[in-house]
Structure 1
Amino acid sequence: MFKDRFEAGERLAERLEKMGPFEKPIVLALPRGGVPVAYRVAKRLHAPLDVIIVRKLGAPFNEEFAIGALVEGEPERIVLNEEAVYRLGVGKEYLDRVVAKEREELHRRQKMYRGEENPIEHLSGRTVILIDDGIATGYTMKAALAAIREQHPAQIVVAVPVAPPDTLSEMERLADEVVVLETPEPFWAVGAHYERFDQTSDEEVIDLLKKGKERTEE
């Protein structure tokens, strides 16, 4: 159990610090909840902090259940849970509609968080430490990993405070290293493992990214 995302980030940073030093590390967070966690990690590792924006594609009648994810990049990438799409009978019309909706939100966040810059175009030869506040289905993380891998980083490290055991083998296949502090079973939801799990605001994301940038420029 973690007090909040910042405390989870401190504990994650302690584990990662013992694994280093890393080759030209950059910390990428999945916003919004991953940013407070990643901020503490970036601070401890003296690494730049940025975000990689991924939007969950929710199922019909249950938007919390992921049938896939949309991740920024050139071009943007869609990763689908083919089994869920088939089982739920999700048609092309629904998929096109939900992708269009999430693409609009993805572009809004890109502009708000960092303007025209795109950090995933500058990852070649670097160690990318990819962070979220936890993993549930893993589809947003998988989409981010696919986009990052195409940029030929030296190493990809997935680091999260909490995740269900059955997602770890898939993460280990897609990343070079996986760091998870807690793997409870049964696993109910990421938020169940935090005493405080308030929604992270856009303003908080912008503030933490600004602080992270100022620190690396000092």
Structure 2
Amino acid sequence: MKASIGRKFFMSLTGLFLIVFLFVHLTLNLFLTFDDSGVLFNEAAHFMATNPIIKIMEPVLALGFVIHIIWSGWITLENMKARPKGYQAGDNLLKWYAPAKNMFILGGMVLIFLIIHLFNFYVKMRFTGDPLLNQPGPGLEDGVHNSYALVANLFIHYPVYDIIYIIGGILVGLHISHGFWSAFQTIGLNNSNWMKRLKFLAHLVAFIIGAGFAYIPLYFLIKF
């Protein structure tokens, strides 16, 4: 029992840490829509790629994702063993729009979206490279990749990815809508007054992050 509580506590901390990262990542990505020349986004992406603090945080972030996924899977398996018959029909019926009952499923779908995202952008920007990264553009100095060209090309010429990323943003928002307040509840802020505030804040945070990530591909899909 104590081990289970410890895993939930640690999973909650990693979840809150990842939400902070999502805010930072969303802020960076919104530069894509502020300046169609790509100058702002390229400068921000270059800063994130070369800043020594960010380089140190990247493996910590990766570890946070891994721990969060492993712990959530472990806890889900424990819950399944504790309730082998599953949920009954009616009020307890599993529904896609009930994040509290489907955190593991939502998390799995978010993981698939994350893998697609990493393959499309992060791997190319950091490891394999791509011809678009060397495409000439305004304001580009030596050593600065045209990250905007890589991202814009995908969203402009491949509408299927726009749809995938819009759905991905919605899934992330749904996952956070429950995970945010649940994390604070696990930490100990679980009295009725705090719960009302945290649930409101959870829905606000979930909407901002979910709508923000969904807005970016929608912007390219509509404008271009």
Greater helix share, structure number: 2
TM-score (norm 1): 0.28
Greater strand share, structure number: 1
TM-score (norm 2): 0.27
